Amino acid sequence: MSKGTLYDKVWDHHTVTTLPTGQEQLFIGLHLIHEVTSPQAFGMLEERDLEVAYPELTHATVDHIIPTADQSRPYEEDAAEEMMSELEENVREAGIEFSDPDSGDQGIVHVVGPEQGLTQPGKTIVCGDSHTSTHGAFGALAFGIGTSQIRDVLATGTVAMEKQKVRKIQIDGELGDGVEAKDVILEIISRLGTEGGVGYVYEYAGEAIENLGMEGRMSICNMSIEGGARAGYINPDETTYEWLQETDYFQENPEKFDELKPYWESIRSDDDAEYDDVVHIDADELEPVVTWGTTPGQGIGISDPIPAPEDLPEDKQDTARRAQEHMRVEPGETMDGYEIDVAFLGSCTNARLPDLRRAARIVEGRQVDDDVRAMVVPGSQRVQEAAEEEGLKDIFEAAGFDWRNAGCSMCLGMNEDQLEGDEACASSSNRNFVGRQGSKDGRTVLMNPRMVAAAAIEGNVTDVRELPEAEVTA
Amino acid sequence: MTDTDEVEIPEVNHVSGSGLPVRGNDIDTDQIIPARFMKVVTFDGLGEFAFFDQRFTEDDDLKDHPFNEDRFQDSSVMVVNSNFGCGSSREHAPQALLRWGIDAIIGESFAEIFAGNCLALGIPTVTADSETIQTLQEWVDANPDGELEIDVEAEQVRYGDTTIDVTVDDAQRKALVEGVWDTTALMKSNAGAVQETAAELPYVSDATANGSGSESSSSAD
Ligand code: SF4
C-alpha cells in the first residue's frame, strides 16, 4: 500500500464514504464532458427525473465528431449534427458552461481544460474519455470513466471506485537533442507493456520530468492509459504554478492563486512517501521512438531493429506476428525509411502550441514530399489562433501542409478525416490500433511531432536529428 | 425529487413473469445489439433493435426468433444457454434487453462484464446446469404464459409445480437483495456527506448542489 503520495492525499481529501459494495465514494472536482459519451448519461438522468448535481463543476466542449474543414451548421454528417444538437440542449438545460465553436474556446477536451485553468493541482477530474489522464500533468487525479459513471457524476458529483496501487517512474538524467516527452512515454510503454499499468496509477518523477514544460508533461500523462494505468500524474512545482498563473481562471481570480497554493504544496508526494513499485529509466539513453506495430507498446528507437516475434515473451509473439503482417515490416530492419502516405500533426497528445512550434521549425523552408498528404489540426481554437498569429500557419501552408480547424480529427477518424485503404500515416497521436484512423487496412506509426514533420518532408519515417532546423528567418 | 437523502433502491428479491427461450451458446453482445445501433444519443429506443440481425433479414423480412413470436411478446424472463453476453463490453446490450422488457435472465453461464452491466441495471443473471436449463426452455416453450418466479435470496426458481435450485453469484445476490446495486441511488442518498466533503475542499468555494438541500448543512447521516 502506498503512503504519503499525491495520490493518497488527493484521494483522502475527496473520499465521502465507503459504500456497502466495498468501493469508496469519491467527490469529483471537475467533470469534463463531450458530445460522444455524455448523451446516454443525460438520457438516463432524465429517465429518473434527476438533475445535474454540480453544473458549475462541469464543463463541456465538442471535439470527436466536429468537422475540421467546413464547420458550418448543420454539419454535413447527420449523426454528427445530432450529437452536437443533443449536447447543446443538454448543457443549456443543465446550465453547464460550454466551450463551443462560437466561443473561440472550443477544442479537444484535454487541451481546453488546462488552457482555461480549469485543470488544477489536487483536483479530482473525470471525463468519459480514456485520455483524461492528461490532466495529471498538473498534479490532479484524473481518469476516464464509462457511461454509468458519467451518470453517477452528473447525478451525484461522485464516483464509486476502488483505490489503486501507485508506481513511481523515476526518469533521471537529461533528454538528448531531438528527444521529447513523447519518446519518454513511448519508451515507458514499450518497456512495461500495454497492460503493465493495470491496477496502478503512475507517478512520473525525476530530473527529466522536472525539466519538462507543461505541454511535455501533458504528453506523458496523456498516454498513461496506453500503458494500462488509468491515471498518471506529476507533482506540481514552479513550472506548474507559472503556467497556471497565465490561465483565464487565475487571471480573473488572482487572489485564488495565493489562496490555493498552500493546498497545492500540501498534496505533493512526501519525500519519504511509500510506493507499491518503483521503476527507473535513464533519460540519457533515449532516442526518438517510433512504433512498428499495432499497439502503442510496440515501439523502438529509430535506429533499433524491429524485433523478431520469436524473441519476444511468448504471450506477445502472436500479436507481434499479426502486427508485422499488417504493417508490412520485417524483423531486423529499422523503421527508418518506412514509406508514408499521410502525416498527421494533431491530437490531445501533441497539438499544443509548443508542439506546433517545434514542428514548424523543421518544415520551414522545405516542401512536403509529393506523395504525402500532410495536415495540421491544432488542439484548440486558442492554439490555432495563437499559431496563426505567430505565423506558424503560413510556414506549414507554404510547405504544403493542410491547416485545419481544431478537433480530434484523424486521431480516431470519427469525422471526415480518415485514412483510406492501406495508407501509412506518421502520426503524433496516441493509438495505432488497427482501424483507429478510419480505415481497417490503414497503418499508423506513432512518433513525436518533429518526427512527423520530418516524415512529411522526406516521404518516409526518418531520424529528425539528421534534418537540421531551418535558419529562423523571422 | 425533493428529499434526495432518502432514495430508495428497489430490492430485487423476487422477479416473476412469463419466460422466453433464447437458445444457443456464446451469444455475443454484437448479436444482442449490432454495433451500428451504438451511434445514438440515448439508450431509450434501443429495445426495438435487440437481436436485430437475428430477427430481420437484409430486406427487413422477419426471421425465426423468439423475440419475433407473438406468444412471447409479454415475456420478461429470458432463458439462455452458456457464455451469454460475451464479446464487446458495450453497456448497450443489457440496456437493449431491459428496454425490450427483460427483467431477469436464467442461463447456464454468463460473460462476466455482461453480468456486471446487468447488475448495474438491477437485472439478475442466475445460473443452473445445462440439463435443468434445457428442461426449463422446453417448459417455457410449451407454456408461453406460464409464470416463472425467481427467488434471488433463496436461489430458487419456481414454475408450474416445479422448484429448481439455481446459483446467484454472492456479490450479486447481496447487491440485489440488500438494494445496493444502483450506484447512482446509493451515492445520491449520501448527498449530505458529499456536500460536507466538498465544503472541505479549498478549490470548491461556491459550489452548491442542486436539490440536495444545501442551505442546511445538518444533513441526515
Ligand atoms: S484527440 Fe484522440 S485521444 Fe484525444 S480525446 Fe480526441 S480522440 Fe481521444
CATH of region A291-466 = 3.30.499.10
Q: Do A50 and B188 touch (CB under 8 A)?
A: yes
Task: Give A436 Cα–ligand 1 centroid separation in angstroms.
Answer: 11
> How would residue B7 be classed by pLDDT, with cut points 50, 70 and 90?
low
Q: Minimal Cα–Cα distance from A56 to chain B, Å?
A: 7
Interface test with A, best of B1, B184, B195, B205 (most A CBs within 10 A): B184
Q: What confidence score (pLDDT) does residue B128 get?
A: 97
Condensed to tens digits (0 to 9), the pLDDT of residues A263-294 reads: 999 999 999 999 999 999 999 999 999 999 99
Determine if ligand 1 sits within 6 Å of the CB of residue A430.
yes
Choose among A448, A379, A425: nearest CA to A184.
A448
pLDDT given for residue A470 in this prediction: 64
Measured in angstroms, the CA of A173 and the nearest CA of chain B are apart by: 35
d(CA B91, CA A112): 28
Domain parsing of chain B, residue ranges = 14-178
Contact B42 A43 (CB under 8 A): yes
- What is the distance in A from the centroid of ligand 1 to the CA of B181? 32
Q: How far is A97 from chain B (nearest CA, A)?
A: 14
Chain B touched by A86 (CB under 8 Å): yes
Q: Is the pLDDT of residue A295 over 80?
A: yes
- By most ligand atoms within 8 Å of CB, the mutation choice from A411, A428, A433 for ligand 1 is A411
Q: Does residue B221 carry a pLDDT above 50?
A: no
A372 vs A385: CA distance, rounded Å: 26
Question: In a 10 Å sphere around its CB, with 0-12 CB exposed, 13-18 middle and 19+ buried, how is residue A139 labelled?
Answer: buried
Is-same-fold flag (A1-287; A291-466)? yes
| pLDDT tens digits, one per residue of B131-154 | 999 999 999 999 999 999 999 999
Please tell me the predicted confidence (pLDDT) of residue B211: 46
CATH of span A1-287: 3.30.499.10
Q: How confident is the model at residue B208 (pLDDT cuts 50, 70, 90)?
A: low
For residue A175, pLDDT beyond 90 = yes
Question: Mean of the pLDDT values across residues B209-216?
Answer: 45
State which of A133, A430, A433, A436 you would mutate to test the pocket of ligand 1, scoring each by most atoms of that ligand within 8 A of its C-beta: A430
What pLDDT score was predicted for residue B212?
Answer: 45
* Predicted confidence (pLDDT) per residue in A64-73, tens digit: 999 999 999 9
Q: Which of residues 11-40 of A touch B (CB under 8 A)?
A: 13-17, 19-21, 25, 27, 29, 39-40
In DSSP notation, chain B reads ---GGGPPPPP--EEEEEEEEE--S--BHHHHS-GGGGS-S-SGGGGGGTTHHHHB-TTS-B-S-GGG-GGGTT--EEEE-TTBTBS---THHHHHHHHHT--EEEES-B-HHHHHHHHTTT--EEE--HHHHHHHHHHHHH-TT-EEEEETTTTEEEETTEEEE-B--HHHHHHHHTT---HHHHHHTTHHHHHHHHHH-TT--S---TTS-TT------
Mean pLDDT of chain A: 95
In this structure, what are the phi and psi dihedrals at residue A89, rounded to the nearest 5 degrees?
-65, -45
Residue ranges per domain, chain A? Answer: 1-287, 291-466
Class of domain B14-178: alpha beta
Residue B217 confidence (pLDDT): 34
Given a cut of 50, is residue A411 above it in pLDDT?
yes
Arithmetic mean of pLDDT, B97-118: 92
Most confident of the ranges A195-204, A442-451, B163-172: A442-451
Mean pLDDT along residues A232-243:
98
Give the pLDDT confidence of B16-26 residue by residue, as tens digits. Answer: 999 999 999 88
Size of interface A-B (CB pairs under 8 A): 112
From A408, A415, A428, give the residue whose CB has the most ligand 1 atoms within 8 Å, as the site to mutate. A408
**ipTM field:** 0.92
Tell me the pLDDT band of A130, cut-offs 50, 70 and 90. confident
Residue of chain B with shortest Cα separation from A51: B210
Beta strands in A295-448 (DSSP E): 299-301, 342-345, 373-376, 402-403, 424-427, 443-446
Chain B residues in contact with A15 (beta carbon < 8 A): 197
Alpha carbon distance, N-terminus to C-terminus of chain B:
19
- The alpha-carbon gap from A342 to the nearest alpha carbon of chain B, in Å, equals 27
Measured between beta carbons, the chain B residues lying within 8 angstroms of A43 are: 41-44
From CA A211, how far away is CA A173, in angstroms rounded?
10
- Dist. CA B79–CA B100, nearest whole Å: 15
Of B207 and A259, the structure prediction assigns the larger pLDDT to: A259
Alpha-carbon separation of residue A19 from A26, A398, A449, B153, B183 (angstroms): 10, 59, 45, 21, 9
DSSP string spanning A25-92?
Answer: EEE-SEEEE-TTTSHHHHHHHHHTT---S-GGGEEEE--SS--SS--PSSPSSHHHHHHHHHHHHHHH
**pLDDT-derived band of residue A413, with 50, 70 and 90 as boundaries?**
confident
Of residues B35 and A400, the one with the higher pLDDT is A400
Each residue's pLDDT tens digit, A317-376: 988 999 999 999 999 999 999 999 999 999 999 999 999 999 999 999 999 999 999 999
